Amino acid sequence: MIDLINKIKDFKLTRRSFIGWTSAAAATVAVPVSRGLVAKAEVNKGAEATNGEGVWKTAACWHNCGSRCLNKVLVKDGVVIRQKTDDTHQDSPDFPQQRGCLRGRSQRHQVFNADRLKYPMKRKHWQPGGGKKELRGKDQWVRISWEEAIDHIASETKRISSKYGNESIWVSGGGDIKNAMATVGGYTSSDGTISWGAWLYTYEMLGVGEGLYVQGINDRVDLRNSQLIVLWGANPAWSTMGSATYNYLQAKKAGARFITIDPLYTDSANVFGAEWVPIRPGTDHALALGIMHTLLEEDDPITNPLVKWDFLNKYTVGFDADHMPAGVDKKENFKDYILGTYDKQPKTAEWASEICGVNASTIRYLAREIGGTERVALLTGWAPARINNGEGWVQAFSTLGMMTGHMGSSGNMTGVSCWEYAGNNGPALLTPGGSGLPEIPNAITNVINENQIFDAVLKGKYLQKGEGERNVNIQFIYHGYNAVLQTRSNIMRGIEAHRKVEFIVTNAYALTTTAKYSDIVLPVTTEWEREGAVREGNREILIAWSKIVDPLYEAKSDQEIAKLLIKKLGKNPEEIYPIDEKQQFFNQLAGSTVVKENGKDFEPLCTITAKDIQEWGVKGTPQQGRIGLKEFLDVGIYQVPRKKGDNLGFIAYKDFIDDPVKNPVSSESGKFEIYCKAINEASKKAFTEIAPIPKYEPRTEGYESTFSDWKKKKKGKYPFQVFNPHYLRRSHSTFDNVPQLREAWPNPVYLSRSDADEKGIKTGDTVMLSNEYGKTLRPALVVETLMPGTIALPHGSWVDLDEKDKVDRAGADNMLVGFVPTGLGTSGYNTARCNLEKWEGKPLEEDYKWDQRIIKF
Amino acid sequence: MEAVKQSLPVKDIVNVFFAREFAYDILRRFFIEEPSKEYIKEFIQRNMIDQFPFQDESDGIREGVQVMKKYLSQHDPIHIDNHFEDLHWDYTRMFIGPFEILAQPWESVYVRKDKLLFQKTTMDVRKVYEKYGFQTADFNIEPDDHVGLELDFVYRLNQLCIQAGKSERPDASKEINYLLKEQQRFINDHLLAFIPMLAEKVATHAETDFFRGLAKILEHFLQMDSKVLQELLNIEIIQDK
């Protein structure tokens, strides 16, 4: 205890101090404090908390995870205290609940995380023109006002565009910043095959579906008619959370057998009790050719009809010499390539085995199973096509389905099964309305392939697809929302590019890798802080989410930021955004439609009254729909129930199969093109030439490149293949900053038992993966369930680079993925190779214990 | 025999309030935002650090003062731009970001298992502010449980005590007594629930002795102030005649 009484009584002491204290107070009272408490505007003194249970609201779960689920939050006294998922109706196979996953249920931890980017901030040494550009990523930062931030961005936009032209402005991602730049002369954009891999640039020419825009497999109710389901590089249990795995389980219950072809024995394989065929990444094409060779070898139209000749003859072009398009060399047909008639190399099971690592006997077994089973679903994810030189795989996989006739009828399907439509293709049964905003055209035609983008920044030239080389002088990078530096190939090269240009701005709600290497960062709101939106998911649902909390910190929406910038640039934001975000949300609701029972016609989803419109304070006209507007918003979801024999089923390509002349597919010939002239022609104006038929070629940085001498099988400098499974703790790079997800999914690197034993590596040891592009560390997880010679490094971890030794601690996949534009410009994330060694430095601690974003100065 | 409760007149007690006003003003200003040149100038030129109260009673405060004085003897942030910018950056990097926030300035981060902001902890603090007619100037921009705001709140309740002491209202001593209780509760329930941990983080991560010393002062001053409030509550406050 202090003797306060005496202290107070001690006049001398008190007197001396008293004068100092009070005179200091008097002098400093004039020095402003810009933050602090103020008198509350509306007097609400001593108000007690509102009691009650709180309100459940439908909250956004908006990420690019490949699913769409119902996310609900309990809001009480303005605080989100709990989350739940779909319990709007009883769960059944025909009418399943749309249940969220661990990431969606951690959404609170993202929105209210202490690591939110809270204020506009400027890199301290940044000056117009760059200012110590080499310090990007390690400079000090200063909090600035919105006004100052927008001033800088507008004046640099003007300076850089007048000095170097608008071509010098690269806007990554899409959205509102593109609108802003389009109003003042345009911008260079970038483009890539991202998730799709080789499907994206080929499907139209081949006449098949790529799984999202064009649907290539049957609906989930019909999937129950398949006898054999082959999951080829597809792992819905990890990559398509939500109801997809449940759809497959119904097929399993109905009697389907499962085979998975994958480098990793996946959780899906486990759940479905699948037979596992381990394969090397990037070699699926060789396996498909080996299977097709066996089919030809063993086919007998009478005693063993494995090949569906009628299907090939009627619906495809280029399979054999008798069905070649006019004007091309008939020797270039696919059948003679398989048999090795002219190149003297039959693509036998043994030939394929050497490349893909699947035993020849297993390859023959697969051929007999796929060719000899009546109803087969040949389903692939996009992953096997996310490889260098991947276009031929798409064509080979599709050809296998055509050759075995597993297309266009009940229980038979061949195509992509992933993303929101995994195991359940077909036209959407509900469609959201448009927001009503105009499209803003871009006056600049530059489109840089993502495999070249960092090189284009550094070297000043790139290949404009379909045209040829163009010069470009990028001096201003604006990352509207993409984490490009994290999620595109070759991070080290990307950092170099980011330290070259004069100006970089990023909008973000946490310090993403792109934000970290920027000059100015602007805090954006999450979807929970915005008006709301209507979103589609799988074909049976529409979800409407509403605003949960007011914008946190100084965050603004992307549109608000774009408007401020447009205004500062001297243009009128009203022309770009004639309606506000609330009206946009209303338009989406009012324009939403739902299919009628006949499966053909659509009607408005929401009934909207004049009173609704008045309450919303928007423009609109009353309409009659399926359910009331308020009810839709309260429930947050409208789902069309399915049942066997309803009018809502879907058989992919059925129209074409029924009448190929009247309903041609999208290819030049209108048939499925096993010989595709268009691909060959397009490739001549792209990166490397692609044969018109799916000929196997060693992939750049693929399996063959792990050898210094392929013939003698002598391994080279980078003897291991590394691929990047999508990992459940994050959606690409999103969510990787959430500690509880880090704890649940610790993000090790998966090593096969035989490789680990050879290197003396045990589970928990820190290992380094390295190649000429970069080095990265991870704790090892040694498993029996991985193809030997192959390393699985989960996709999307936030790079954590030590600037001294250039080693990334976080296991960022793109430290190892080079950028080698091949074919039509497909991004080859799953073709990379590396060396593996035990890390002799300080071992890694589990990353959930790390501070969020660790940078040492 | 029951101890006789000691008594003091309001005007004497007000002296303690001035000491607290002086201390809380320094602390709230340095923890609520980046240091400003204007205030640093006053702080140094008036030698305010030497006058920090309760140095004789608390080793911790005295040590903190020495650490700050050491900094001030070697640096001149008034005249040397680099010195000022380093102070400014030290605040930014520890409390704002945009890199990992080294010493999170919010109570929520320390007292909640989920470490999330704008949750019940923030709202509980908001309700206490509302009771006295305050809200944060940056409403919903800065979580209410930011250390600088919590210090500002105690500063303001102390000012209400000073006003009451000067008011000569008949019920002033009652009002003061109530306000003291409220401050003590707030300090114990909120500030002291996380300041020791926050101070440790600042001690680990600060690059300047200025903030290292300041964090030490903060922690020990709050502990001392809680005791001071307890003693004041044990004293009968006599209305001035």
Q: Which residue of A has its CA nearest to B6?
A: A5
> Which residue in B26, B95, B116, B151 has the most chain A C-beta atoms within 10 A of its own C-beta, making it the best mutation to test that interface?
B116
Token reading at B229: 């409030």
Identify the closest residue of chain A to B56 by CA–CA distance.
A2
Q: Which of B95, B100, B129, B232 to mutate to test the interface with A (most CBs of A within 10 A)?
A: B100
**Given A36, A43, A115, which is nearest B149 (Cβ)?**
A36
pLDDT exceeds 80 at position A161? yes
Q: Is the pLDDT of residue A852 over 80?
A: no
Q: Which DSSP string corresponds to A412-446?
A: BEEEE--GGGTT--S--SEEPPP--PPP---S---
Q: Provide the token pair at A774.
A: 């970069």
Whether A37 sits inside 8 A of B140 (CB atoms) is: no
Query: What percent of chain A has pLDDT above 70?
Result: 96
What element of type H or E holds A459? Answer: helix A453-459
Ramachandran assignment for B44, one of left (phi > 0), alpha (psi -120 to 50 degrees), beta (any other): alpha
pLDDT tens, A163-175?
A: 999 999 999 987 8
For residue A341, give the DSSP letter: T
Beta strand segments in A473-610, E: 476-479, 503-508, 520-523, 532-536, 541-546, 593-595, 602-604, 606-607
Res A629: pLDDT = 97
- Tokens 């039959």 label which residue? A346
Set of chain B residues whose Cβ sits within 8 Å of the Cβ of A552: 117-118, 140-141
CA distance B112 to chain A (A): 12
Residue among A189, A211, A190 nearest A200 (CA): A211
How close is the nearest chain B Cα to the Cα of A385, in Å? 36
Distance from CA of B161 to the nearest CA of A (A): 15
Rg (CA), chain A: 30
- Nearest 5 degrees, angle CA A578-CA A584-CA A590? 125
Position A49 scores a pLDDT of 40
Give the pLDDT confidence of B101-116 residue by residue, as tens digits: 999 999 999 999 999 9
Angle, vertex CA A822, rays to CA A821 and CA A827, nearest 5 = 60
User: ipTM of this model?
Assistant: 0.79
What token pair was written down for A769? Answer: 């993966």
Q: Which residues of A touch B121 (CB under 8 A)?
A: none
CA distances from A838 to A221, A706, A791, A832 (A): 49, 19, 14, 19
Q: Among partner residues B109, B123, B135, which is closest to A40 by beta-carbon distance?
A: B135
- Topology of domain B7-238, per CATH? TorD-like (1.10.3480)
- Retrieve residue A101's tokens: 């996953």
- The pLDDT, as a whole number, for residue B100 is 83
Query: Of A724, A696, A697, which Cα lies nearest the Cα of A834?
Result: A724
Going by C-alpha positions, the residue among A826, A835, A834 that lies closest to residue A384 is A826
Question: What pLDDT sits at residue A22?
Answer: 81
Selected for mutation to probe chain B from A1, A3, A4 (highest B CB count within 10 Å) is A4
Q: Do the chains contact at B15 and A8, CB–CB below 8 Å?
A: yes
Q: Which two tokens stand for residue B72?
A: 């001030």
- Quick: pLDDT tens for A16-63: 677 778 888 887 888 888 888 888 765 443 333 455 678 999 999 999
Give the phi and the psi of residue A535 in degrees, each rounded to 5.
-130, 140
Question: For residue A175, what pLDDT is reported?
Answer: 86
Q: Locate tokens 């750049």: which residue?
A: A700
Give the pLDDT band (50/70/90) at residue A182: very high
- A483, A509 in Cβ contact below 8 A? no
Alpha helices in B92-119 (DSSP H): 107-111
Question: What 3-state class would DSSP assign to B31?
Answer: helix
CA distance A379 to A397: 10
Cα separation, A542 vs B86, in Å, equals 52
pTM for this model (two decimals)? 0.86
Q: Quote the CA–CA distance of A741 and A728 in Å, as a whole number.
A: 9
**Element (DSSP H or E) covering residue A177:** helix A176-182
SS3 of A464, please? Answer: strand
Contact A143 B21 (CB under 8 A): no
Which residues of chain A make contact with B131, given a CB cutoff of 8 A?
45-46
Closest CA to B148 of B227, B112, B95: B95
Q: What CA–CA distance (Å, rounded) separates A394 from A703?
A: 18
Helix (H) or strand (E) holding B91: helix B81-91
The answer to whether B28 contacts A141, with C-beta atoms less than 8 Å apart, is no
Residue A394: its H or E element: helix A391-403
Please give the distance of CA A802 from its chain centroid, rounded to a whole number: 27
Pairs of CB atoms within 8 A across A/B: 215
3-state helix, strand, coil in chain A (%, to 5): 30, 20, 50
Q: How high is the pLDDT of residue A41?
A: 61
Is the pLDDT at A11 greater than 50, yes or no? no
Helix, strand, coil: what percent of chain B each, to 5?
A: 70, 5, 25
- Tell me what the pLDDT averaged over chain A comes to: 94
Nearest in space to A429 (alpha carbons), one of A655, A666, A731, A221: A221
Which string of DSSP letters, residue by residue, matches A741-795?
Answer: HHHHS---EEEEHHHHHHHT--TT-EEEEE-SS-EEEEEEEEESSB-TTEEE--T
From chain A, the residues in CB contact with B220 under 8 A are none
Please classify residue A10 by burial: count the beta carbons closer than 10 Å to its beta carbon, then call 0-12 exposed, 13-18 middle and 19+ buried. exposed
C-alpha span between A311 and A328 (Å, rounded) = 22
Q: Which of A164, A180, A857, A174 is nearest to A502 (CA)?
A: A164
pLDDT tens digits, A108-120: 999 999 889 999 9
CB–CB of A516 and B28 under 8 A? no
Alpha-helical (H) ranges within A597-668 are 610-616, 629-635, 654-658
Q: Name the residue among A22, A36, A853 with its Cβ closest to that of B152.
A: A36
Q: Which long-range CB contacts under 8 A does A499-502 form with residues at least 24 apart?
A: A499/A133, A499/A134, A499/A136, A499/A137, A500/A133, A500/A457, A500/A458, A501/A130, A501/A133, A501/A457, A501/A474, A501/A475, A501/A476, A501/A477, A502/A129, A502/A130, A502/A133, A502/A156, A502/A160, A502/A475, A502/A476
One-letter amino acid for residue A472 of the chain:
V
Which of B10, B15, B197, B201 to probe by mutation at the A interface, max A CB count within 10 Å?
Answer: B15
Q: How many CB atoms lie within 10 A of CB B188?
A: 14
Does residue A449 sit in helix, strand or coil? strand
Nearest CA in chain A to B148: A36
DSSP A294: H
pLDDT beneath 50: ranges in chain B = 1
Q: Which residue has the tokens 């926050």?
A: B198
pLDDT average, residue stretch A456-479: 96
- Contacts (Cβ under 8 Å, ≥6 apart) of A671: A207, A315, A316, A317, A660, A664, A665
- The answer for residues whose C-beta is within 8 angstroms of residue A326's C-beta and 6 or more apart is none
Best residue in B24, B99, B156, B231 to probe A by mutation, most A CBs within 10 Å? B99
Mean pLDDT of A309-329: 97
Region for residue A250 given its phi and psi (left: phi exceeds 0; alpha: psi -120 to 50; beta: otherwise): alpha
Per DSSP, A263 falls in state S
**What Rg value do the Cα atoms of chain B yield, rounded?**
19
How far is A22 from chain B, CA to nearest CA, in Å? Answer: 6
- Collect all residues of chain B within an 8 Å Cβ-Cβ radius of residue A146: none
Q: How many whole angstroms separate alpha carbon A268 and alpha carbon A261?
A: 11
Q: How confident is the model at residue A482 (pLDDT cuts 50, 70, 90)?
A: confident
Q: What is the pLDDT of residue B4?
A: 63
- From chain B, pick out residues whose CB is under 8 angstroms from the CB of A553: 140-142
Min CA distance, A799 vs chain B (Å)? 13
Which residues of chain B lie closer than 8 angstroms to A31, CB-CB? Answer: 29, 36, 38-39, 42
Measured between beta carbons, the chain A residues lying within 8 angstroms of B142 are: 35, 118, 553
The structural domains of chain B, with segments of one domain joined by +, span: 7-238
Given an 8 Å threshold on Cβ–Cβ distance, is B97 in contact with A855?
Answer: no
What is the rounded average pLDDT of the residues A675-680? 98
Calculate how close chain A gets to B74, using CA atoms only, in Å.
22
Omega before residue B98 within 30° of 0, cis: yes
